[in-house]
């Protein structure tokens, strides 16, 4: 089981692999439409999202990962509010606090959570503006990749690939 540093590195590595994949596979057209390849802020968001979701499964316990996660969420929430995205800020705050309502290694470490937990990244923009859908899909992929890296490093995807503290 990796510690928070391992999960941060894993999330960033997953973000790099994902960003490279976005330039090499047919999804590139979606990335270009979402201005991922031209906009450094969108590309930086891919890495931040991958890292946040690499930390997310351990947010359900008092840890350094929890501290880092909530400080990053706080900063993103402030930026959303600053730019007038009040509904997105409310959804982010609501979703971010869900893990602390349960016990450690519960649903946050389930394989199905890799796909379902990041789903609001696509569903919320779909409800409010279809023009945001391409970038939401790109960010969803980054979230899934980051989440996957966490479970992989914890040995929950492939037991032979378990990183020890």
- Within the chain, where are the H helices? 4-24, 28-33, 40-55, 64-82, 86-96, 113-116, 120-128, 133-153
Rounded CA separation 4/81 (Å): 28
| Domains of the chain, residue spans | 4-153
pLDDT category of residue 24 using cuts at 50, 70 and 90: low
The pLDDT of residue 146 is 93
For the chain, give the percent of residues with pLDDT over 70: 84
Across the chain, what does the average pLDDT equal?
Answer: 81
147 has a pLDDT exceeding 90: yes
23 has a pLDDT exceeding 70: no
pLDDT category of residue 164 using cuts at 50, 70 and 90: low
Rounded CA separation 41/82 (Å): 16
116 has a pLDDT exceeding 90: yes
pLDDT category of residue 148 using cuts at 50, 70 and 90: very high
For the chain, give the percent of residues with pLDDT over 90: 16
71 has a pLDDT exceeding 70: yes
């Amino acid at each position: 089981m990796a510690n928070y540093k391992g999960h941060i590195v894993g999330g960033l590595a997953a973000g790099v692999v994902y960003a490279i994949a976005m330039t090499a596979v047919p999804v590139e057209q979606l990335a270009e439409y979402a201005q991922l390849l031209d906009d450094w802020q969108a590309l930086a968001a891919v890495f931040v999202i991958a890292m946040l979701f690499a930390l997310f499964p351990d947010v359900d316990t008092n840890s350094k990962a929890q501290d880092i996660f909530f400080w990053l969420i706080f900063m993103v929430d402030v930026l959303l509010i600053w730019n007038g995205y009040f509904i997105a800020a409310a959804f982010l705050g609501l979703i971010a606090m869900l893990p602390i309502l349960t016990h450690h290694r519960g649903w946050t470490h389930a394989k199905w959570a890799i796909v379902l937990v990041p789903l609001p990244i696509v569903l919320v923009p779909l409800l409010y503006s279809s023009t945001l859908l391409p970038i939401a899909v790109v960010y969803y992929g980054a979230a899934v990749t980051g989440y996957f890296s966490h479970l992989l490093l914890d040995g929950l995807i492939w037991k032979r690939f378990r990183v020890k503290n």
